[in-house]
Structure 1
Amino acid sequence: MATRKLAWYLFLFPSILLLMSNSYANQPITLKLLATSDVHGHFSGYNYFSKQAEPFGLAHLVPIIQQQRQASDISLLIDNGDLIQGSPLTDMLVANYQASGIVEREPSVAQLLTLMGYDAANLGNHEFNYGLAYLQHAYGGDNFSIPLLSANLTPISTLAKGSLRHKPFHMFSFSPRINGHQQRLKVAVVGVLPPQIMQWDAHHLRDQVEVTDMLTAATQAVAEAQRAGADIIVLAAHSGMPKNSDDGVDSEQGVWQLAQIPAVDAIIFGHQHEIFPGSKVYDQLAHINSQQGTLFGKPSVQPGTQGKYLGVIDLSLTFSDSNWQVVETHSQVIAAAKDPDPKVLEHLTRSHRATETYMQQAIGHSAHDLSLAKARLEPTHALQFIHSAQRWYVERTFANSKVGNKLPQRPLFSAVAPFNAALNEQMYTDNQFTFVPQGVLTLGHIGDLYRYPNTLEVVAVTGVQLKRWLEQSAAALQPSSNNSPWGHIVQDIPSYQFDTFAGFEYQIDVSKPIGERVSASISFAASETYYVATNNYRAQGGGGFAGLDGSQVVFSSPDQIQHILVSYLAYLGESGYRDKLAKNWVIKD
């Protein structure tokens, strides 16, 4: 009997071993993908305009990153672009870099990324705002060990080839222990950015780089990653998706199409400053689950802006039959920690002090408060100051240039949007808007009034196009349901999509249908042509206004609008800005 039992055990033993082996082999491991996007220079959690601490920024994300990494078997921390532009601190870094005679520069963005343990960085559109040489400096040049990504960006000039060191994808190799043995796991991260950078920053990129469409480039890079043996493929796209639409096809917001590339396992996206999962703006698109955070069934995150959230994708992986499989996924965004990381703050100390000094430089005087509080409802001195500076610059620089002298004489108008206006009565009560008191104006005030490093361009538009431009801006208003002027504001439309105009009078009748609201003191006939001074983003098609696509540009300034405002104040001299307010537009119920 004992002999038969022993024979039975010996017969079963290989099967038991196989079951034990498979059981161990199928024990999942967790790969965490941690993502930031559209940080826009918010590093330390300090508002240089209000001079108060704010509970977000990269320093406040470090505790969350550390917690998430401790809860994973393997993790990757990826930035998804628009990192080096957008705050007074980054403005200071650029100014110091550009200034002659600066011997000791402030710590670079690259050093901050290294300190925080980033594994890869995808390039966004704002990385190119200051030119290729500064981009190289910001990311540490040849000394930067963190991979830079962009599959659809190709350098063609000597300058670009020397400045850009990105690649279509980077392969990370890990060796997690499975069933007592190390198994190789290869994770590829592919990056893409909007091809519209060739319009938005043409003065920096023309004849320097070539940019292809995201879908073609990503598909090719994914295929190359597969051939290189990638087990998991992550797409980092500095791009979003069309909002409140069932049509997902868009050359700038291309993630809906990118998500359909079969071999992609997870998606990090951005550019639109939305929260995903959580936002409902994409719900009209097919195969989008904004609660679970999936695009075509693939785990996806968009972590907002300014370091307010960390995007987290958990991939539960098993290994069997010599292959890795994704057996479970989870997507979420986690709010920044209340307290910042002291090591990051210490690293930023010198930059913080330099930024405070930079912001305090006096550059002029205003006899009026410059407030954007009600700039969505009525003309303001704040926007009139910018309008006046833009028209002054064009008349001085363009009208008297060789190009300007060859073009027909036409009326010159100006278009400006209020970037930081109050959207409702609560924001007004809480002072959540740009306000510069009358008196001395500093560089910090200029940065608050005009928050982007746009350059100035002049477009030639017909009366029909100008009418379309005005009507699209008027769509940001609505009839007020509560007899309060604040009820006129459509809060879902950001203030940078509400252009105001100077140079003529107009009226917006919100009781009329969208597209039929604007009447003006000028002709909207197709036979009329006008010049409009605006920023390069709008002139090159940003926001999709009036069919603008760059082809209407008749003059491109090399100067940023912020610098034009400084020059205008110098022109005004000691008397400063003191013009009477021209109430040239009004909202009618």
Structure 2
Amino acid sequence: MGPSVEFTCEMMVTSDIHGHIQPVEYRTREERHAGLSKIATLIKEARKKSPELLLVDNGDLLQGTPFAYYAATAGKHRLNPAIATLNEMRYDAAVLGNHEFNYGWELLAKAVGDSSFPWLSAGIVNRETKEPVFGKPYIVKTLGPNIKVVILGVTTHYIPNWENPKHIKGLEFQDALETVKQWAAYIRKEEQPDLLVVSYHGGFERDLSSGEPAEKMTGENQAYAMCMEAEGIDVLITGHQHRFIAGEVNGVTVIQPGCNGQAVGRISVAFQKTPSGWMIARKQAELLRIDGAVASDPAILSLTGEAEEATQTWLDQTIGHIRGDMTIADPLLCRIADHPFIAFMNRVQMDAAGVDISNAALLNNESEGFRGEVTMRDILANFMYPNTLTVLRLRGEDIRAALEQTAAYFQVDLNGALGVNPAYLEPKLQHYNYDMWEGIEYELNAAKPIGQRVTRLTRNGLPLRGNEWFDVVMNNYRAAGGGDYEMYQGKQIVREVQIDMAELVAAYLQKHGVVEAVCNHNWQVVLKK
């Protein structure tokens, strides 16, 4: 017989919702088994059994769908529908994710100000005062028979490696692991909680069972180290990697509920009364997947219906036309030889930046490219991130180093066929870290060792000299070194184009009316033993 349980704390968590409120696939308008409107149904059901249910969002709420894009642009002066939804669902707290900063400080500050719940992030501080920018980084909840629960929020400190510097001006991002250690010790001493929960917008850097490194140890993800090194944590909520995790590491209950509202995490902590106070008898984490049996909550559909209708109308605008075919039949084939859609992306970037060398990435494997009539829906389906453009001044040797980095995307499988390096698939899909260039000619031989794959590199038919300078346009994420492109860090910024890529594509199509689907076959990937 186990100890008698006198109270059970129930908590539900979301993470990486990325603007998925209504259950809509915005490319096709078909229903998806995902989104906060469906999660709200499960939350309401859970509250019937547990009225004191705690509800936390773990970040990356405000960006990710055309719905979110519309709310942040054309609808930016209204109450953000994502905030309205969390208010309606009575969230207890939300944690800042890295994508919360994508649309700039003004939009983020309005979202925080309009929230009926606190936003938490212990390690984001004012550069001058060192005080937490978003106020007290934890909340205290007293449940049932005087059980004290503290929830501490923290965000990956890797944000400056990706974000537009203007969006995070005056902010300092302190090491998340050290921040958790310090605050956990402080909370244990000052608050003396019965349950300490850390909600961390970051993921696991190591395999949960073996402890072996699962990725390059950059500090972007530190959840495993938190479980092993930060004393006093009972539950660790994670995110950022879009993984489905429910389990335990070193006695710490851990959970990560995927992305886009495909699942909600549930954590149950049972307490028993002892002479020295309340003690944890057992903990359990599980994932509740959204499927066809889960209906949307009518209140959330009604609350966001007007914004959804406005978004759909806006998405159906015809922006321009393509003569020929820019569609992507196979994303791998698109990445092994010059393709009209990638050539178009680079052409738009070069036109906007006024330079003649560019690199661009196919952002995910669901991108379908363009053909015929192009609507705003088509544009945002392919350009889902609000990236702006940066022109860097690079030497030829920097370009070669960047091509070697991008060539690491490939591996040769056991059958001798070209495939994708698993490091770009696990623990998180990173197809967006493979770049394709215009304005130079090159060949990558994937059969050679990583770091030795650039077998041809010319410009206008002449060898690219290592000490020669070139101005190159790329998205701001890459220009900051995102994706382990360390050769770009610290390089001179020649200019910035502070208009996001979706708007630039729309403007280019509107300006030209009809765009030809062409490419000049300036690069290829080969397999030569």
Report TM bin, short chain: 0.7 to 0.9
Does residue 270 in structure 1 map to residue 208 in structure 2?
Answer: no
Aligned to 1:90: 68
- CA distance 1:112–1:168, change in 2 (3 Å): same
Contact 1:107 1:351 (8 Å CA) reproduced? no
Aligned to 2:251: 297
Give the TM-score normalised by the residue count of structure 1: 0.79
Does residue 317 in structure 1 map to residue 251 in structure 2?
Answer: no
Contact 1:416 1:499 (8 Å CA) reproduced? yes
TM-fit CA distance, 1:217: 2.3
TM-fit CA distance, 1:78: 0.7
Contact 1:31 1:73 (8 Å CA) reproduced? no
2:32 to 40, 43, 54: 54
- CA distance 1:95–1:33, change in 2 (3 Å): same
Does residue 419 in structure 1 map to residue 359 in structure 2?
Answer: no
1:380 to 339, 346, 358: 339
Contact 2:80 2:111 (8 Å CA) reproduced? no
By percentage of residues, which structure has more strand? Answer: 2
- CA distance 1:550–1:569, change in 2 (3 Å): farther
Amino acid at match of 1:224: Y
Q: Distance in 1 between matches of 2:15 and 2:388?
A: 24
Contact 1:456 1:559 (8 Å CA) reproduced? yes
TM-fit CA distance, 1:237: 0.6
What is the 5 A alignment of 1:556-567?
556-567=496-507
Contact 1:420 1:434 (8 Å CA) reproduced? no
Q: Distance in 2 between matches of 1:415 and 1:351?
A: 35
Q: Distance in 2 between matches of 1:93 and 1:216?
A: 35
Aligned to 2:192: 229
TM-fit CA distance, 1:433: 4.0
> Kindly, what percent of the aligned residue pairs are identical?
29
TM-fit CA distance, 1:539: 1.4
Aligned to 1:261: 230
TM-fit CA distance, 1:138: 2.6
Does residue 581 in structure 1 map to residue 519 in structure 2?
Answer: yes
Secondary structure (helix, strand or coil) at the match of 1:346 reads helix
Aligned to 1:218: 180
Secondary structure (helix, strand or coil) at the match of 1:27 reads coil
Give the TM-score normalised by the residue count of structure 2: 0.88
- CA distance 1:196–1:37, change in 2 (3 Å): same
Does residue 246 in structure 1 map to residue 212 in structure 2?
Answer: yes
TM-fit CA distance, 1:502: 1.2
Q: Distance in 1 between matches of 2:496 and 2:223?
A: 31
Aligned to 1:568: 508
Contact 2:243 2:258 (8 Å CA) reproduced? yes
Aligned length: 507
Amino acid at match of 1:263: G
1:112 to 85, 89, 98: 85
1:129 to 102, 124, 133: 102
5+ long unaligned stretches in structure 2: none
Secondary structure (helix, strand or coil) at the match of 1:559 reads coil
- CA distance 1:340–1:301, change in 2 (3 Å): same
Contact 1:200 1:536 (8 Å CA) reproduced? yes
Name whichever of 24-33 and 461-470 sits farther off.
24-33
1:512 to 448, 462, 466: 448
2:316 to 360, 381, 385: 360
Give a deviation string over 1:418-440, Cα, whole Å, max 9, x none: 1233xxxxxxxxxx54243223x
TM-fit CA distance, 1:369: 2.9
Contact 1:241 1:250 (8 Å CA) reproduced? no
Q: Distance in 1 between matches of 2:351 and 2:521?
A: 19
- CA distance 1:73–1:344, change in 2 (3 Å): closer
Contact 2:95 2:153 (8 Å CA) reproduced? yes
Decide which structure has the larger Cα Rg and report it. Answer: 1
Contact 1:373 1:434 (8 Å CA) reproduced? yes
Does residue 474 in structure 1 map to residue 377 in structure 2?
Answer: no
Q: Distance in 1 between matches of 2:16 and 2:225?
A: 21
Name whichever of 372-381 and 36-45 sits farther off.
372-381
2:468 to 510, 513, 528: 528
Secondary structure (helix, strand or coil) at the match of 1:382 reads helix
Contact 2:367 2:381 (8 Å CA) reproduced? no
Does residue 77 in structure 1 map to residue 40 in structure 2?
Answer: no
- CA distance 1:495–1:387, change in 2 (3 Å): same
Aligned to 1:540: 480
Q: Distance in 2 between matches of 1:133 and 1:149?
A: 18
RMSD (Å) for aligned C-alpha atoms: 2.9
Q: Distance in 1 between matches of 2:471 and 2:172?
A: 30
